[in-house]
Amino acid sequence: MAAAPLAAAGFSQERTVRKGRLRQCVTRGVFGKGMPLEDMCRHAARLGVVGFDLIGPADFPLLKKYGLIPTMVPGAMTLTGGCNHKEDHPAAEKLMHGLIDQSALAGAPNVIALSGNRRKLTDQEGLDNVVAFLTKVKAHAEDKGITICLELLNSKVNHPDYQCDRTSWGVEVCKRVGSPRVKLLYDIYHMQIMEGDVIRTIRNNIEWIAHFHTAGNPGRHEMDDSQEMHYKGIAKAIADLPNFTGYVAHEYTPLRDPVRSLEETLALFEV
């Protein structure tokens, strides 16, 4: 791995240039607890990370200082205030429009959308409501070149009652909305819990997937031989896809030294 200076970003630290085909990014969680965001950015930049997921507009200037981009911007909705209930649409729509504008100005490629919890909705009712919401905001996303990514989460372990918990449900939303700027955030950890058959599912549905999250299962920790997935094979399967130009973001909680774990994770995905 070569190193390149980060002078253009305003500081002298050397930056590792990763050789792999995947553009890798991180979340705060991979650095454990207690580390200031600026220290996280410094480590991420040195290790050749492209950017951070789940960083809001308030911290965009700090990412820019270290030559990082906000790769998946949150803030428009929550698990209990997503877009599957019509009564939540006005507030979520206002927030989503603002987030799209802020993200476009910062060069951020994606904003996140959450279905929200079922709260007694049937799958069909929730589907209809999510499609209606995303149809309202898709033109703005298309105009600004921002992709809205509906996240797939598990409802078995971490997020009981979450509605967008199966790939087929999320894909149907995307098909009905019919926009190149409305796709899925495929969280590998969550979908391993709900469905398994990860590589085949990714290959069969990549048209509708814009972004990935990673973590080991069980436990949501490092992707080593203590968990059940062969992440080297998954990484290669994603890299081999002819039309995937998105990002792979690591979202695990480390059990070991976080910086050392991140170095090992980035190397694992360097395919």
List, for residues 155-208, the tens digit of each pLDDT value: 999 999 999 999 999 999 999 999 999 999 999 999 999 999 999 999 999 999
Tell me which residue range forms the domain holding 221.
2-268
Q: Give the span between the Cα atoms of 66 and 38, in whole angstroms.
A: 9
Taken as a whole, the chain contains a residue count of: 271
CB 36 within 8 A of CB 54: no
Q: Determine which of 6-20, 69-83, 155-169, 242-256 has the lowest per-residue pLDDT on average.
A: 6-20
Q: Which string of b and e fits 139-151 if b means at least 16 CB within 10 Å?
A: ebbbebebbbbbb
Q: Give the span between the Cα atoms of 83 and 126, in whole angstroms.
A: 8
Q: Give the span between the Cα atoms of 69 and 72, in whole angstroms.
A: 9
Q: Give the span between the Cα atoms of 141 and 134, in whole angstroms.
A: 10
- Global pTM? 0.95
CB 152 within 8 A of CB 190: yes
The answer to whether residue 71 scores a pLDDT higher than 70 is yes
CATH number of 227's domain: 3.20.20.150
- ∠ CA 170-231-246, nearest 5°, is 50
Q: Is 153 exposed, middle or buried (0-12, 13-18, 19+ CB in 10 A)?
A: buried
Q: Which string of b and e fits 165-179 if b means at least 16 CB within 10 Å?
A: bbbebbbbbbeebeb
Return mean pLDDT, the chain: 95
CB 54 within 8 A of CB 72: yes
Give the pLDDT confidence score for residue 13 in this predicted structure: 67
CB 165 within 8 A of CB 127: no
DSSP class of residue 152?
P
Strand partners, 97: none
Number of domains in the chain: 1
Averaged pLDDT, 72-91: 96
User: Which distant-in-sequence residues (6+ apart) come within 8 Å of 88 by Cβ?
Assistant: 77, 81, 82, 116
CB 42 within 8 A of CB 24: no
